[in-house]
Amino acid sequence: MVIAQPDRVVAHGVVATRVDGQRWRFASLAPSPQTAPGGAALISIIEAGALALAQLSVQLDPPASDLEALRVLLGGDDETRAPVTLESAVSEVIGIQIIADPDGEAHVLATSKGSGFPPYTAVFSLQLTGADRDVVKSALSGDERRVEVRYTVEIDGTETAISADLAAWVRGTLPA
């Protein structure tokens, strides 16, 4: 999906706003899982009796290939293509949370400050039991609104939450 206006474009998982000329700032529409070289999401869960060990590797910015596709889109057609500079609109990641909602009672499973620089990555290792174990397993099976990955960031001096449903990652339905 591409939504294009002269100074604002939504495409490739970001909203991009023209700063001036061919200089653009972008902010992700949602975080995404980091992926292995073959493209598989770096998400796993291992069950050991009543305990489950889950690992999630996440990033705020879309993959480099998506940002390059955005750069090409913003540069115009082959005859008029000009170099495009992309800058992150995120000035700070305040925190990253994994939030579970087993029964309408949302609570934080884990927090991180992340890497501190683009693509703003974080790796979570979770030891899960009881309802938390069940809700993460459910999300990894594709059940929506069970586990959320939320980045709280600062953009233009404003605190903003950017989040994704873990089930959307499993189903491959991230914003495009």
Per-residue pLDDT, 75: 86
Alpha-carbon gap, residue 175 to 133, rounded angstroms: 27
CA distances for 176 relative to 3, 9, 33, angstroms: 10, 12, 14
Per-residue pLDDT, 105: 86
Per-residue pLDDT, 174: 54
Per-residue pLDDT, 132: 94
Per-residue pLDDT, 79: 62
12: tokens are: 């490739």
pLDDT in tens, 89-106: 999 999 999 999 988 889
Low-confidence stretches of the chain (pLDDT < 50) are 176
119: tokens are: 């693509």
Domain residue ranges of the chain, discontinuous segments joined by +: 3-171
**Nearest 5°: CA angle at 153, between 168 and 125?**
55
3-state secondary structure 130-172: HHHHHHHHHHHCCCCCCEEEEEEEEECCEEEEEEEEHHHHHHC
Alpha-carbon gap, residue 170 to 55, rounded angstroms: 14
Per-residue pLDDT, 48: 93
Per-residue pLDDT, 175: 56
Query: What are residue 82's phi and psi, to 5 degrees?
Result: -120, 155
pTM of the shown model:
0.90
Per-residue pLDDT, 103: 80
